[in-house]
Amino acid sequence: MSLSITRFVLLALAISWMHLFTAWPLPAQEQPALSPRDKLVVETILRLKEFKLETNPVAKESVLRYLRAQAGSDQYFELIERFRPAELAEELLQFCLSHAEDSKGARGAAVLVAMGQTEQLQQLAQANDAVQAVAAVRLLGHAAGKDLPRIMVPLIISAEASTEVRSAAIIALGRSIVGQRELLTLVSKNQLDDQLKFAAANVLLSSSESTIAAEAGKYLELPATADRQPLPTIAELVQRRGSVDAGSQIFRTPGTCINCHKLQTEGREVGPDLSTIGSKLSREAMYVAILDPSSAISHNFETYAALTDEGTVITGLLISQTDDEVTIRTSEGIDKRIDRASIEEMKKQPKSLMPQDLQRLMTVQQLVDLVEYLLTLRTANSGQ
């Protein structure tokens, strides 16, 4: 049988199946989340290049059920890119927000923008929820294209946005040469807050455009390490590999990580527990968390400063608060209870409680070894 005849037969069978589904729908309450029939409908539709989903309500319901059951699969994206069903816009948005750091989130973000959801992402990027705001900024960085400068520059210079959101906006803006030039303009005009300069330096000093990197070098530099060597950019660091055994020792000694973090039964509960950190952060994100902690503050680990009526300032993590008292855990791991009536002012701080210059305690190789070790701290069922 020739190829053209085979295609004709397949097309005829597909059409006949579609007519059958249109004439004989199952009651909605009896339809499972993903039935063999829904799968067959989807396979049929994918073979029909001219098929219009809106013309067949029964097929459309099968497709929607299939999409909800197969979120993140190749066919999920293929069908959404092709038909752009408005009914799934919100669900796709939530899927992307939860996958903002991987390729599925990036692919979904492009579809969201094509579906006209850019404004929704922008609103989330400006929301009070820092976790969602950072995720929305990352998604826009992958999908907003030529609109990136218009969206990101106001966020970067905003006095209202958190440091982590503005740092994420810098990274997003740096995804294009045009964005890098916009960022360089902010730097040259001294419009960038000091706590954002590390993120800007990593973007601009690693630019593929040599003129941008050279010009940025007039205004920005990366901090020196323990042996007074300049710190490489994160883009360079992620290409290096270290010693896990050496990193384990650095975690407990020069890196001082054990002073503030729990690792199984070791350490203090000041910062996040690092027992499974390798399952949560990529190599790049690990370097950012160590070298620029204020740009990646973990949820529930924001720093607060309480000024008492005696003039004492107590800084640390907000552990609990009631109508009568507030408990703040200091960097030494000490919980201090403060009578609420004695507090003159309490504010969330833009900087992390984690030291901003940990690289000064380590050489570049020790830093690389530390990250290599941290990446091995995984949950039992996570891949290597």
Output the pLDDT for position 11.
42
CATH number of the CATH domain containing 285:
1.10.760.10
Output the pLDDT for position 96.
93
Confidence band of 354 (pLDDT split at 50, 70, 90): confident
52 exposed, middle or buried (CB, 10 Å; 0-12, 13-18, 19+)? Answer: exposed
**14 and 151 fall within a common domain:** yes
- The residue with tokens 């969201």 is 112
**255 and 210 fall within a common domain:** no
Output the pLDDT for position 182.
95
**280 and 189 fall within a common domain:** no
Mean of the pLDDT values across residues 297-317? 76
| Statement: residue 15 has pLDDT above 50 | no
Among 8-22, 259-273, 318-332, 353-367, which is the least confidently predicted range? 8-22
Q: Which stretch of DSSP H or E encloses residue 327?
A: strand 325-329
**25 and 116 fall within a common domain:** yes
- CB 198 within 8 Å of CB 192: no
Output the pLDDT for position 300.
59
Mean of the pLDDT values across residues 132-139? 92
Please tell me which residue, 341 or 16, carries the higher pLDDT value: 341
**44 and 130 fall within a common domain:** yes
- Residues spanned by the domain of 196: 157-221
Mean of the pLDDT values across residues 60-81? 87
**212 and 261 fall within a common domain:** no
**115 and 200 fall within a common domain:** no
Confidence band of 10 (pLDDT split at 50, 70, 90): very low
Mean of the pLDDT values across residues 355-376? 87
Confidence band of 13 (pLDDT split at 50, 70, 90): very low
Domain boundary among 169, 193, 221: 221
Q: How far apart are CA 336 and CA 159, in angstroms?
A: 30
Among 39-43, 146-150, 278-282, 355-359, which is the least confidently predicted range? 355-359
* Residue 113 neighbours by CB under 8 Å, 6+ apart: 121, 143, 144, 145
- CB 130 within 8 Å of CB 161: no
Confidence band of 31 (pLDDT split at 50, 70, 90): very low
Q: Please check whether residue 13 lies inside any domain of the structure.
A: yes
**173 and 195 fall within a common domain:** yes
Output the pLDDT for position 52.
84
Domain boundary among 110, 139, 156: 156
| Statement: residue 9 has pLDDT above 70 | no
CATH number of the CATH domain containing 335:
2.30.30.100
Confidence band of 12 (pLDDT split at 50, 70, 90): very low
- CB 373 within 8 Å of CB 251: yes
**58 and 89 fall within a common domain:** yes
**40 and 56 fall within a common domain:** yes
Q: Please check whether residue 228 lies inside any domain of the structure.
A: no
Confidence band of 315 (pLDDT split at 50, 70, 90): confident
pLDDT tens profile 157-203:
998 888 889 999 999 999 888 899 999 999 999 999 988 998 999 89
- Distance in Å from the first CA to the final CA of the chain: 48
- Residue 249 vs residues 102, 276, 359, 371: alpha-carbon distances, Å: 31, 18, 16, 12
Output the pLDDT for position 143.
87
DSSP letter for 332, please.
Answer: T
Domain count along the chain = 4
Q: Please check whether residue 381 lies inside any domain of the structure.
A: no
DSSP letter for 303, please.
Answer: E
pLDDT, mean over the chain: 82
- Give the pair of three-digit tokens for residue 27: 């009651």
| Statement: residue 32 has pLDDT above 50 | no
Mean of the pLDDT values across residues 26-48? 68
Q: Is 116 left (phi over 0), alpha (psi -120 to 50) or beta?
A: left
**140 and 43 fall within a common domain:** yes
